[in-house]
Structure 1
Amino acid sequence: MVYKNNWKYFQEDLILSYLANMLRCEEGQSGPTYDSLQDVIDKKSFRPSVNLSSPTITNISFTLYAILGVVSQSQILTTFLWLRLYWFHEFLIWDPEACDGITKISLPVKDLWTPDIIVYDVDDDVSQACPYVYVNHTGHIRYDRMLRLVSACNLQIFSFPFDIQNCSFTFGSYMHTIKDVRVSPALSFKEMTVNSKRYLQASGEWELVDILGDTNILKFGIDEWDIITFWVVIKRRPILYVVNLIIPSSFLMIIDILSFYLPPHSVDRSSFKMTLILGYTVFLLIMNDLLPSTANGTPLIGIYFSVCLAFMTISLLETVLITCVLHHNSMKYREVPHWVQVLTLNAWFFCPLASGTMTLDVPELRQISQDLREMNTYLSIIRKEDHLQNQWCHVGYILDFLLFRIYLLIITGYALVIICMWCIWMNQ
């Protein structure tokens, strides 16, 4: 019966309906009678509402008890929740004064109607449901469930190991539309966050940042379902990866930089750098399992390692170039090009040797003079070779100094960019 214009009659009708549906309590019994409860149990197949046109409100809250694992390859989040549902049963109402002051009883959940609330975005749901529910004398029911959820989550791993993930849990009725079942949060999102942080255990490398939520309507064809979505924001604890990945890689890069202080004319520098590259490659192979990987992205730390390996390779090529300048036999009789002189030696001048002629009339003196000229020519050639070798050595040292400073400047800039990006993500 609908009352549109007379609110007094409508209130009276509600009071009479309330009194008619109250459970009976007999003398000597603590709580409603078995017969009155049996009447409720017999109606468990029907939604507990006097007026079936009014929906049943289901309040939902949960406590995030544990973050069991995050698998980046398959985009899977595994969590353990304490789920709590509240709803109003219009046929489970009694007067505590007539029932020895009893205000709460527990009943088997299989004997009562329960809302079919499920988690939509879940791959696997391992539920440890409590076999009983708590019923208040006002008809409000509380039902607790422990859920191990394996849910899909769009993981963003670019900022690994300083990444923050935002995963969603969507709760709603499976069969009942918005006309029959409505959902709403039982607690504020801040209260759920505080409770979860208080009881969060076995979180491993993850910590809870916040729990957010919103209610929405799911439309499918002409039907609509009321749903509520919780966003669980979690943050990775990066200390494990900083110690095992970033610090060892930084040490190897520092050793590569310090290797430039080895004598460039020694072949030990090139062999040392080759050994260092080999060691860094083995390090990456060993630590590859610690790096997350997905089909839609690569973490920044993977790019960081690749660039570090590229820098080491460039460093080795620089050493090969300097060694070639210092030790290549084809440069023995070749003068330093003019543009190299301008870039490295600035300017230099050759001072020609003074030569004179002398007329000899005596044959013996003429022979001696010829021998001396040949010896002078030979010594000039040797001095010129030594001078050219010294020039090439000078060019090699200057190039080594210049390329080392450029290499050091590029690495410093690269390190500052990476550190700034990670610091920004850590402070989000």
Structure 2
Amino acid sequence: MVPPVQSFWNPINITVTMNVLAILGVDEKAQTMTLFISQYLTWRIDGLHWSERDCGTKRVSVSRENLWIPDIHISEFMDEDNSPQNMHVFLYNTGLVFDSKSIRVVTSCQLDIYPFPFDVQNCSLTFRSYLHQDSEIKLIQGATSEETLEVSRKLIQTNGEWELVDIKVTPSVLKLNGGSYSEMKYYIVLKRQPMLYVVNLLIPSCFLITVDLFSFLLPPQSVDRASFKMTLILGYTVFLLIMNDLLPVSGQTTPLINVFFSISLALMVASLLETIFITNIQFTSSQYSTVPRWLSILVLRYLALAVCLPTQKKSNRITVSLQPPKELQIHNPISNSLVNSCNISEDKPPPDPHQHLLDELRKLSKDLIAIRLHMDNHFKGTKTSQEWYMIGIVVDRLLFAIYIIFILASFLAITCIWIWSDSL
């Protein structure tokens, strides 16, 4: 129970060395990391020594209950230590005590899951004493950071989806109101293996987005594009529900891949709504009112140029003249010709059947005039229909361009993040 020192004015120097044996897992929701490590502590008992020649050995195994053992713990520990306990320590003839034990460590760690699945986590393990201040116990670094990393990579047995990238060791002092405590911080850098998530999440999602992109090439007037897009949205939703367990969950940060999935689904829904709008224009645009001037200028003049659709095509479609020729606008030309033909034969008495035929032709002329007026009104409405149809084409091509920009930007972002994570 008493520290083995000749004078309490002199602190005990305890050398701390740690190696990682296995990376058991990382829980993003609980913000914890589970490791299996080996901890090595060495210190010296003042005044204790024996002769190896007289005793025949320079090292003996002593029960932990018979020696003073420092209370060195990990500050970030979040769970009960269920690892097997080592009941003995080694005592050397020079008074050196060597204590080694394996620990299953569940530590708290502030995980950054924003670049998932290309994330790199940096978690710390802080070794210090709870009871003894730095005037009583002083922690000293054992192996260097490079030696610790090299030995850990040789001893590591399993890492799952994580790869051990680096280990850094830094001595420090924790100052509190009651005093200061000597600490030894180990920073463990882990990198996630992203291939599983790239194959199961990113590639299928990119395939569905690409199929929806090429669906813009389907002619909406002859193919039911809306049903095709609705099938894609349904398939994409089922895909997200199935793969939801692979996505990390955290209340603090939303992963970038979740943003990618949300934007992809939003673009699919927008393309479906745009297809419904174009289909409605094709079949009911004749019932629409005249296109507002501001909408016509914004879409047909500026957005048309932005999507590489020349305004001449729009104006040609809308301002085409479908009025009947002037010679057809003479009032009742057919009846006039019939009257002239009838006047030629005035020297003969008109028979009754001829008079009846003339009346029928006059009625037919009135019907033709009515048909002509109806066609004039129809052609006047076609100008408005063409404007709405042209607006639909511009919107369709604009969404197609947004799709291409989104896919290219996503591809570049994923590639850059992947290259950055591999460079670490």
**TM-score of the aligned structures, taking structure 2 as reference length:** 0.81
The equivalent position to 2:315 in structure 1, one of 346, 366, 375, is: 346
Instruction: Name the SS for the 1:123 alignment partner.
Output: coil
- Between 1:286-295 and 1:373-382, the stretch displaced more is 373-382
**Which residue of structure 2 lines up, in the alignment, with residue 253 of structure 1?**
209
The equivalent position to 1:97 in structure 2, one of 53, 62, 67, is: 53
Amino acid corresponding to residue 258 of structure 2 in structure 1: G
Matched, 1:126 2:87: no
Shift of 1:216: 1.4
Amino acid corresponding to residue 382 of structure 2 in structure 1: L
Instruction: Map residues 124-273 of structure 1 onto 2, 5 A cutoff.
Output: 124=79, 125-266=81-222, 268-273=224-229
**Which residue of structure 2 lines up, in the alignment, with residue 402 of structure 1?**
397
The equivalent position to 1:423 in structure 2, one of 399, 418, 424, is: 418
d(CA) in 1 for partners of 2:211, 2:149: 46
Amino acid corresponding to residue 104 of structure 1 in structure 2: R
Instruction: Name the SS for the 2:78 alignment partner.
Output: strand
8 Å CA contact 2:278–2:389 kept in 1: the answer is no
Amino acid corresponding to residue 195 of structure 1 in structure 2: V
**Which residue of structure 1 lines up, in the alignment, with residue 62 of structure 2?**
107
Shift of 1:265: 1.5
- Deviation digits for residues 321-342 of structure 1, max 9, x if unmatched? 11011112x5169778884876
The equivalent position to 2:367 in structure 1, one of 356, 371, 374, is: 374
Matched, 1:388 2:382: yes
Amino acid corresponding to residue 331 of structure 1 in structure 2: S
d(CA) in 2 for partners of 1:333, 1:234: 61
Shift of 1:274: 1.3
8 Å CA contact 1:84–1:144 kept in 2: the answer is yes
Relative distance call for 1:397 and 1:121 in structure 2 (3 A) is closer
RMSD: 2.8
8 Å CA contact 1:332–1:388 kept in 2: the answer is no
- Deviation digits for residues 31-82 of structure 1, max 9, x if unmatched? xxxxxxxxxxxxxx32222233211111111111111121111111111111
- Between 1:85-94 and 1:57-66, the stretch displaced more is 85-94
Shift of 1:235: 0.8
Amino acid corresponding to residue 270 of structure 2 in structure 1: I
Instruction: Name the SS for the 1:92 alignment partner.
Output: coil
Amino acid corresponding to residue 112 of structure 1 in structure 2: L
d(CA) in 2 for partners of 1:70, 1:98: 53
d(CA) in 2 for partners of 1:333, 1:303: 38
- Deviation digits for residues 136-168 of structure 1, max 9, x if unmatched? 222222111110111111111111111111111
**Which residue of structure 1 lines up, in the alignment, with residue 346 of structure 2?**
none
Relative distance call for 1:257 and 1:145 in structure 2 (3 A) is same
Shift of 1:412: 3.1
8 Å CA contact 2:300–2:391 kept in 1: the answer is no
Q: Which runs of 5 or more structure 2 residues have no equivalent in the other structure? A: 302-310, 343-354
8 Å CA contact 1:129–1:144 kept in 2: the answer is no
8 Å CA contact 1:85–1:143 kept in 2: the answer is yes
**Which residue of structure 2 lines up, in the alignment, with residue 23 of structure 1?**
none
Matched, 1:303 2:259: yes
d(CA) in 1 for partners of 2:292, 2:126: 74
Relative distance call for 1:403 and 1:221 in structure 2 (3 A) is closer
8 Å CA contact 2:274–2:396 kept in 1: the answer is no
Instruction: Name the SS for the 1:217 alignment partner.
Output: strand
d(CA) in 1 for partners of 2:34, 2:8: 38
Shift of 1:375: 2.6
Amino acid corresponding to residue 134 of structure 1 in structure 2: F
**Which residue of structure 2 lines up, in the alignment, with residue 4 of structure 1?**
none
d(CA) in 2 for partners of 1:137, 1:55: 21
Relative distance call for 1:117 and 1:393 in structure 2 (3 A) is closer
**Which residue of structure 2 lines up, in the alignment, with residue 17 of structure 1?**
none
Instruction: Name the SS for the 1:346 alignment partner.
Output: helix
Relative distance call for 1:408 and 1:46 in structure 2 (3 A) is closer
8 Å CA contact 1:49–1:56 kept in 2: the answer is yes
Amino acid corresponding to residue 170 of structure 1 in structure 2: T
Shift of 1:401: 5.3
d(CA) in 1 for partners of 2:21, 2:300: 72
- Deviation digits for residues 277-327 of structure 1, max 9, x if unmatched? 122112212222211121211111111111111110111111011101111
d(CA) in 2 for partners of 1:143, 1:333: 87
Q: Which runs of 5 or more structure 1 residues have no equivalent in the other structure? A: 1-44
Aligned residue pair count? 382
Instruction: Name the SS for the 1:87 alignment partner.
Output: strand
Amino acid corresponding to residue 412 of structure 1 in structure 2: I
